[in-house]
Amino acid sequence: MKLRVMLWLLGVLLKRALRRKPRFRERLTEMRGLDWGIATEDLSIARHYRMSPKGIESSTGLPVDLDLELRFEDAATAVRVLRKPTQQAFLDGMMAGRVRLVGDSGDLSRLQKLLRDI
């Protein structure tokens, strides 16, 4: 339940940042948008975000056309990594097999830079 609330709240924070933070809007405009999602490996908990300079949509599930997916071994691992989403935390999780990146690692770097402005 904690992970579901965190992912829903992330969507609220992204929408709020788009409205209130010029630097966030500026970076998102430079990126021309990004569609990404977070899920557990068994897809019991999944949420995706479609971000563009015109708006941000958030919904449950993982469509197949996403640019980037972050898959976590289980909900507890996801909560632990997402509380402190540093590059090192992701690398450690990937090396241990607890985090899997589906998509381009460049998109992950762009996403991390964007999320710093929330």
Q: What is the mean pLDDT of each run of 10 residues along the chain (118 residues)?
A: 93 95 92 93 96 94 93 94 84 91 88 85
pLDDT for the residue 62: 93
Q: Per CATH, which fold does 2-115 belong to?
A: Nonspecific Lipid-transfer Protein; Chain A (3.30.1050)
Q: Please say whether the beta carbons of 37 and 43 come within 8 A.
A: no
Name the pTM for this structure.
Answer: 0.89
pLDDT for the residue 98: 94
pLDDT for the residue 109: 86
pLDDT for the residue 22: 93
Instruction: Report how far residue 46's alpha carbon sits from residue 37's, in angstroms, rounded to the nearest whole number.
Output: 7
Q: Please say whether the beta carbons of 72 and 6 come within 8 A.
A: no
